[in-house]
Amino acid sequence: MDLETLLSFEWGIMMPEFIILGVATVMTLLDLFMPKGLKRKILGWIGFAGILAAIVSLIGLLDYPVTTILFDTFRLDSFAKAFKLILLVGAALVMLLAISYEPKEGLTEYRSEFFYLFLTALLGAMIVTSSGDLITLYVGLELLSLSSYILAGLRKENRRSNEAAMKYVVNGSISTAITLFGVSYVYGLTGTTNIAAMREILLALNDSQSVYLLVISFLMIFVGLSFKIAAAPFHMWAPDVYEGAPTPVTAFLSVVSKIAGFVLLVRVMLSIFANAVTDGPNSTSILLTMEDTIAFIAGVTMVVGNVVALQQKNMKRLFAYSSIAHAGYILVAIASLSLFMFDSLWFYLIAYLFMNLGAFAIIQTLTEKSDSEDSSHFSGLYTRAPILAVAMAVMILSLAGIPGTAGFIGKLNIITGALVREQANYVLVSVMIATTVISYVFYFGIMVQMFFRKAKVKDPIKIPVGTGIVIGVCAVATVLLGIFPNIAFDFLQAQFYEFGDFLR
């Protein structure tokens, strides 16, 4: 590739990625040359400023038309812009949590790594959202995964953290291998890794042998990515990793990493398998043929997540299973394959981002100086810190899907999307409603601890500035989106006018 070709690319569409990459590089160099006695929290604030700059640059690209560079391996379309915005907002809030994080054993020696590994993981997630080629997708996925593995085990003196990192590496490697195995079939049939080129070739492949291989490919890719989003029965790593990882990392994995997993799943499934058709007189797309498989996994995920959560006393394990259950809810939106799928998916991920990060911010505040994250830490919270208890109540009500919160609107959109189809999926909607009712038991159990149990300790609760900002933003956003959901939907329609543009 000559210099003239390189200069001809519209590099401006990669400005958010360049900002994150540049800030991560600068932070690495600063850490190298900063005196050892100087506190590394300043690097966290630099990283936070970098994420804000990336958000501003992305907002400047919202009106940009669909653009591809590097031979269609990197795309800027409505899909990429919409989900990249969620990733950046979530990462900014997680960075504030990381700045405020002061565990019992401390993180003095590797506090700096704690910050710039966040940025490299974020960069990987952003690359995934804009990938137009399977190789680029894989590079972004691995950058996200490898950074996450290290972050999960960053508390080197903590045995649970070491165990979390080991389990995450093993399960992550297995899921990546399965995904690549499935991708290899598609590559073998099409002879290209470019997603746009694959679509054109797959339209002409409708013989029985090709369809058979594509079905195997679909199952392999779906299973591999189900590990990434912690969908049952491929969720076994999540509770241990969530419990052992530092709390900001747990928040990152439960929100930002999970969003990236769903983005990858939707982009691959709709870009490739929506165009691949079965053979015979009643030919239909492979994606529609495998709809029942997605629905089955969604149902199992909702049941496992909510039922097993009933037995949990550790707050991070409880929220791990809660996260698994919410993955099931989101899979219902994907399984419905309705006209409202993108709108439902986008809104629910925004709602999930705020209500989950807000909950983790409060969990971090109450448990970071303790050796456990037992639910007893929430006993009598209303008498110790009324504002904190009310904020946690808002997050829990939203997670439970109570009217007046963003979580309720998100679930309502998903249920509506599943029912307005030509063939309404009543069974899946029934499972979703039933498991949501089951979730009230453990969610409201936390409320009972906060408002109706006596406090075991009377110590005042100090809320760091960063954590306080996260709690405030999440609580306000959760209520605001629950009462005025059109704020999000109007913005969605005004800025991201056509999600289907990534299929062109």
pLDDT in tens, 280-307: 555 677 788 888 899 999 999 999 999 9
pLDDT in tens, 243-294: 888 888 999 999 988 999 999 888 888 888 876 666 655 567 778 888 889 9
pLDDT in tens, 145-176: 999 999 988 877 778 888 888 999 999 999 99
Q: Which pTM value belongs to this model? A: 0.93
Helix axes 111-129, 134-152, angle to 10 degrees: 160
Examine the pLDDT at 384 and tell me if it is beyond 70. Answer: yes
Q: Region 86-91: what's the mean pLDDT? A: 94
pLDDT at 34: 83
Examine the pLDDT at 21 and tell me if it is beyond 60. Answer: yes
Element (H, E) at 307: helix 291-309
In contact, 269 and 283? CB cutoff 8 Å: no
In contact, 145 and 176? CB cutoff 8 Å: yes
Element (H, E) at 75: strand 74-76
Name residue 194's beta-bridge partners.
Answer: 133
**Which tokens is 167 given?**
């389990």
pLDDT in tens, 114-137: 888 999 999 999 999 999 899 999
